[in-house]
């Protein structure tokens, strides 16, 4: 491609994008100045249509765990498409879906042995929500239909999943939302006192905070009546709001509460599964046993879409024999190409020890980011595995955050673009307080951590001077 062709292509693509492409979760007006067009990926790098290289600091969207440009994943997709491009798993089956279900059941903790495929995370959550309601009806407890989740948590956009999502600004325009969703405080230790916890949640009282936050779930179950509550949906590390890991004893206490009141515990691992926290499933990282796991994104490292809800023997039991079927499914659920790619991707995980790499290097990644706390704008660095959030504040001493105007100027007006211009694709997000989110491919190590820190340091230093 000559430079002229590139330029012509770029102009034509930009015009077509402006005329016809509706971007997700974005202001269409930003297209007036052109949209960044990404054309290539290799390892932990991506390139735009002008040939500029960036570090992919977000694995696309928490997806490309094994990195870009893996020929063997492309080849396995082509081979499967040639052999059997499509067949549903409605009353029939195909080898790739069977093998993948078997593999996921092997990895999943405890008695999570049954896999219901979908095409992405939102559908996996939707599936778990419907199954929870149906399960309790089959137990002769039809009023157990409500679901509890946490403030600011994101669980997807289908109307059921949206009822579980805890971000009012994403919901108000779609009211009335599917009924039955109730919210409890999240595990934001940095702002625990603002949520009503008394003590040092980031220090000596971390465990007390874990118990306090878990007990808010019990309180909500009691407020609503245990006979009306079907399930609790929690991410092992909550993404939205900027990476809230579970405090000590949190999941132990949540499990206890769920058992006491007959409420199902769903671990939404759409982001956390497949290595993000250094394990195939993050429930293992934090030592708890969910009744269902929802997962998607990194299962194929993004080389083809798929989602799954992994279900315990107990929940599956009423469906095992007799005439009961789960009237639910998706044409493309468990797609042969995606299932074949997932199997190959999981082979890469095993062969290259990606989980081990994350476990070994996570403390170094954290340390590199924590060096940024010498900057006046960096209030908190938190996360786990290869999954971190950096909270930005106006005043470190008081933890004062930015008002709407400042947030608008800082995040949308400056930071996202400045980070990108400086060669780092990541996310500046203000669904809760303003944070920069990082979730790079699981293949990187100390050299790249330093590079990421360097870029962040430059841009955050400049951001401060612009306030
Ligand atoms: C925790 C969680 N659940 C569900 C979803 C929805 O997944 P999808 O976008 O694949 O529908 C997401 C997406 O980011 C997520 O982070």
Q: With a 6 A CB cut-off, is 125 part of the ligand 1 pocket?
A: yes
Q: With a 6 A CB cut-off, is 270 part of the ligand 1 pocket?
A: yes
Say what the pLDDT of residue 4 is.
47
Using CA atoms, how far apart are residues 136 and 149, in angstroms rounded to an integer? 18
* In the predicted structure, residue 6 carries a pLDDT above the cut 80: no
Region 120-141: what's the mean pLDDT? 98
Say what the pLDDT of residue 106 is.
98
Say what the pLDDT of residue 409 is.
86
Q: With a 6 A CB cut-off, is 241 part of the ligand 1 pocket?
A: no
- What is the four-CA torsion angle of 448, 247, 120, 78, rounded to 10 degrees? 40
Region 232-260: what's the mean pLDDT? 98
- Report the candidate in 395, 52, 89, 431 with the shortest Cα–Cα distance to residue 240: 431
Region 68-88: what's the mean pLDDT? 98
- Report the candidate in 144, 387, 422 with the shortest Cα–Cα distance to residue 261: 144
Whose C-alpha lies nearest to ligand 1, atom 3? 155
Q: With a 6 A CB cut-off, is 104 part of the ligand 1 pocket?
A: no
Q: With a 6 A CB cut-off, is 242 part of the ligand 1 pocket?
A: no
List pLDDT tens digits, range 371-412: 999 999 999 999 999 999 999 999 999 999 999 888 888 888
List pLDDT tens digits, range 298-344: 999 999 999 999 999 999 999 999 999 999 999 999 999 999 999 99
Q: What angle do CA 31, 34, 38 make, to 5 degrees?
A: 110
Nearest atom of ligand 1 to the alpha carbon of 122: 11
Nearest atom of ligand 1 to the alpha carbon of 268: 1
Q: Around Cβ 81, how many Cβ atoms within 10 Å?
A: 14
Average pLDDT, the chain: 96
Say what the pLDDT of residue 8 is.
57
Beta strands of 64-191 (E only): which ranges? Answer: 112-118, 146-150, 181-184
Q: With a 6 A CB cut-off, is 428 part of the ligand 1 pocket?
A: no
Ligand 1: which of 25, 64, 147, 156 to mutate, most ligand atoms within 8 Å of CB? Answer: 156
Say what the pLDDT of residue 1 is.
42
Using CA atoms, how far apart are residues 64 and 48, in angstroms rounded to an integer? 17
In the chain the domains, ranked by start, together with CATH numbers, are 36-69+353-466 (3.90.1150.10), 73-352 (3.40.640.10)
Quote the pTM value: 0.97
User: What order of strands is seen across the sheet that includes strand 424-425?
Assistant: 38-42, 45-48, 53-56, 424-425
Q: Taking a C-beta distance cutoff of 8 angstroms, is the pair 166, 150 a contact?
A: yes
Say what the pLDDT of residue 429 is.
84
Say what the pLDDT of residue 7 is.
57
Q: With a 6 A CB cut-off, is 431 part of the ligand 1 pocket?
A: no
Q: Taking a C-beta distance cutoff of 8 angstroms, is the pair 339, 144 a contact?
A: no
């Amino acid at each position: 491609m000559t430079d002229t062709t590139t330029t012509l292509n770029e102009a034509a693509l930009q015009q077509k994008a402006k005329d016809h492409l509706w971007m997700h979760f974005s202001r269409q007006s930003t297209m007036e100045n052109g949209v960044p067009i990404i054309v290539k990926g290799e390892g932990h790098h991506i390139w735009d249509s002008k040939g500029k290289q960036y570090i992919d600091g977000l694995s696309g969207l928490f997806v490309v765990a094994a990195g870009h440009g893996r020929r063997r994943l492309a080849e396995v997709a082509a081979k499967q498409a040639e052999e059997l491009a499509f067949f549903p798993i409605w009353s029939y089956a195909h080898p790739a879906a069977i093998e993948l279900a078997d593999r996921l059941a092997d990895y999943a903790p405890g008695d999570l042995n049954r896999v219901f495929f979908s095409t992405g995370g939102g559908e996996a959550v939707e599936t778990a929500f419907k199954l929870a309601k149906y399960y309790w009806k089959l137990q002769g407890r039809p009023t157990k239909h409500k679901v509890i989740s946490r403030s600011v948590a994101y669980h997807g956009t289908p109307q059921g999943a949206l009822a579980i999502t805890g971000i009012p600004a994403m919901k108000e325009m779609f009211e009335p939302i599917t009924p039955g969703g109730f919210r409890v405080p999240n595990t934001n230790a940095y702002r625990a006192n603002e949520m009503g916890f008394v003590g040092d949640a980031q220090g000596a009282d971390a465990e007390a905070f874990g118990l306090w936050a878990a007990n808010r779930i019990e309180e909500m179950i009691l407020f609503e009546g245990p006979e009306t509550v079907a399930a609790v949906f929690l991410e092992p590390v909550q993404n939205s709001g900027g990476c809230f890991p579970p405090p000590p004893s949190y999941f132990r206490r949540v499990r206890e509460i769920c058992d006491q009141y007959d409420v199902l515990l769903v671990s939404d691992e759409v982001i956390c599964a497949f290595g993000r926290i250094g394990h195939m499933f993050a429930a293992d990282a934090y030592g708890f046993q969910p009744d269902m796991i929802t997962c998607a994104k990194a299962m194929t490292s993004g080389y083809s879409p798929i989602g799954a809800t992994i279900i315990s023997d107990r929940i599956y039991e009423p469906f095992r024999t007799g005439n009961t079927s789960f009237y639910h499914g998706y044409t493309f659920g468990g797609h042969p190409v995606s299932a074949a790619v997932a199997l190959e991707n999981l082979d890469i995980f095993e062969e290259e020890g990606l989980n081990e790499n994350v476990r070994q290097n996570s403390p170094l990644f954290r340390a590199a980011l924590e060096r940024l706390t010498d900057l006046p704008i960096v209030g908190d660095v938190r996360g786990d595995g290869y999954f971190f959030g950096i909270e930005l504040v106006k005043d470190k001493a008081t933890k004062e955050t930015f008002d709407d105007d400042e947030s608008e100027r800082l995040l949308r007006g400056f930071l996202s673009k400045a980070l990108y211009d400086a060669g780092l694709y990541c996310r500046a997000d203000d669904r809760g307080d303003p944070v920069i989110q990082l979730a790079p491919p699981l293949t990187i190590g100390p050299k790249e951590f330093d590079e990421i820190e360097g870029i962040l340091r430059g841009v955050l230093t400049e951001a401060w001077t612009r306030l």
